[in-house]
Amino acid sequence: MKKIFKNLYVKFMVWQKYKALSPNHKVTENEIICTSICRKLINDPTSKFLIAPLSYKRYIKNDKLNIFVILDDNQISVSNHIYHYDVTITQRAKDKLYSLYDSKVEKLRQEYEDEIKSQIVHSLSSILEKINKEI
């Protein structure tokens, strides 16, 4: 019973957070289109990702489609050489996009790390053996 009440309390608090932080308007068509563009670019294997450590901005660059996207707090900027759009999104949409973006970047980081570790020739024991032979 205690677990059920804890779950209900957590769900209520999350709902309150999003209700308090999101504006009191309907989601616009531009916001739906813009978040859809971001999701598709994040899932595209040709996209490149960058995170600014000080400003926490997230960048998506797709050379094949010639599109550049900046995720900055509750603002999404979509541009190329012909157009530029700035769209404000709700807190819930921002959290979902950031989560998707961060999981994609984390997956890429893990792949890079695995690639680096797979190229290691010497183990610690072989290094110790080499040191023991030299000494």
CA distances from 20 to 36, 91, 94, 121, 135 (A): 24, 10, 15, 55, 68
pLDDT tens column, 24-66: 667 789 999 999 999 999 999 999 999 999 999 999 999 999 9
Domain region containing 63: 25-134
Q: Is residue 92 part of a domain?
A: yes
Backbone phi, psi, residue 54, to 5°: -90, -40
In a domain, 72, yes or no: yes
Q: Is residue 4 one of the residues assigned to a domain?
A: no
Q: Is residue 33 part of a domain?
A: yes
Rounded Cα gap, residues 105 and 38, in angstroms: 14
Question: What is the spatial distance between Cα 38 and Cα 44, in angstroms, rounded to a whole number?
Answer: 10
For residue 18, is pLDDT > 80? no
Residue 87 belongs to a domain: yes
93 contacts: CB under 8 Å, gap ≥ 6: 27, 31, 35
Number of domains in the chain: 1
Has residue 120 got a pLDDT over 90?
no
CA distance 23 to 96: 16
Is residue 77 included in any domain, yes or no? Answer: yes
Residue 39 lies in a domain: yes
pLDDT tens column, 62-82 = 999 999 999 998 899 999 889
Is 126 inside a domain boundary? yes
Over residues 75-118, the pLDDT tens digits come to 999 998 899 999 999 888 898 999 999 999 999 999 999 888 88
